[in-house]
Structure 1
Amino acid sequence: MLKDLAPGVKISISRSISKSFEQYMSRIGWDENKYSLEDFIKEWREYIINSSSWYSQLSEETKADPVFHEELAAKINETIEKIFNEEPTQEQIEEIEKLQQQQGKEFDYSCKMEAKYIVDTQKN
C-alpha cells in the first residue's frame, strides 16, 4: 500500500518521521535511557495529524488498513536506522571538538542528527 502512494506523499512520510524523531530525541536530550518507541510513535501521530499535509490526503480506508500500519512501522524502523547510520559531517566533528576544548568536557555522539543536537544546544 505504501509503495502505491504518490512519490511526494512517500517523501513527506519519510520527512515527517525524521522531523518528529529529531524533535523527540531533542526533547529527551538524546538520552537513550529515556527513549521509548511507544512515546515516539505517540508524538509522531500527533505531528502527522496536526502538522503534516500528507495525512489528510489519505482515505479513511487506508488509514484504518492493518497492512498500511505494518508498512508504516517498517518505514519508521527503516528511517530511524538510516538516521543512526548517517555519519556526522567533518564540519560537525570539528565544531564538536572545538566545543569540547572550550568547555573542557567530552560529548558522546554517534550520528549526524545527534551531532547537530550537540552543536545546537552547546552553542546556545
Structure 2
Amino acid sequence: MYKNLSPNLKISITRSITQTFEQYMTDIAWSEDKFRIEDFISSWQEYITSKALWYSEIPEEIKYNEEFHEELAVRINESIARILQDPPTEKQIAAIQMAQEELGTHYEYNCKAEATYVEGLLKNIKK
C-alpha cells in the first residue's frame, strides 16, 4: 500500500517523520532516558492530523488499513535509523568543540541532528 503512493506523497511522509522526530528529540533535550517511542508516535500523529497537508490525500480505507500501518512503522524505523546514523559534519564538530572550550561545557552528540541541537544550545548559553 505504501509502495503504491505517489513519490511526492512518500517524500512528504518521510519529511514529516524526520521533522517530528527531530522536534521530539529537541523537546526531550536528546535524552535517551526520556525517549519513549509511544510519545514520539503520538507527536507524529498529532502533526499529521493537524498540520500535514498530505494526510488528506490518503484515502480513508488506506489510513485505517493494518498493512499500511505496518509499512508506515517500517518507514518510521528506517527514517529514525537514518537520522541517528547521519554523522555530524566537520564544520559542526569544529564549531561545537570551540564553543565548548570557550564555555567549559561537555555536551555529547552522536549524529548530525543532535549536533544541530547542541550548537543551538551552546549559542543560547553564549547569549
TM-score range with shorter-chain normalisation? over 0.9
Deviation at 1:30, TM superposition (A): 0.3
Contact 2:14 2:75 in 1 (8 A): yes
Q: Which residue of 2 aligns with 1:52?
A: 52
Q: How does 1:1-124 map to 2 (within 5 A)?
A: 1-124=1-124
Deviation at 1:121, TM superposition (A): 1.8
Deviation at 1:59, TM superposition (A): 0.7
Alignment partners' CA distance in 1, 2:76 and 2:53: 18
Q: Percent identity?
A: 48
RMSD of aligned C-alpha atoms? 0.6
Alignment partners' CA distance in 2, 1:101 and 1:71: 45
The alignment's TM-score, normalised by the length of structure 2, stands at: 0.96
> What runs of 5+ residues in structure 2 fail to find an aligned partner?
none
1:58-90 Cα offsets, whole Å, 9 max, x none, are 011000000000000000000000000000011
> What runs of 5+ residues in structure 1 fail to find an aligned partner?
none
| Code of the aligned partner of 2:99 | L
Alignment partners' CA distance in 1, 2:46 and 2:121: 25
Alignment partners' CA distance in 2, 1:121 and 1:53: 31
Alignment partners' CA distance in 1, 2:9 and 2:120: 30
Task: Tell me which stretches of 4 or more aligned residues in structure 1 moved more than 6 Å.
Answer: none
Deviation at 1:37, TM superposition (A): 0.1
Deviation at 1:116, TM superposition (A): 0.2
Alignment partners' CA distance in 1, 2:68 and 2:107: 39
Alignment partners' CA distance in 2, 1:66 and 1:3: 14
The alignment's TM-score, normalised by the length of structure 1, stands at: 0.98
Alignment partners' CA distance in 2, 1:85 and 1:77: 12
Alignment partners' CA distance in 1, 2:77 and 2:4: 19
Alignment partners' CA distance in 1, 2:121 and 2:48: 26
Contact 2:20 2:43 in 1 (8 A): yes
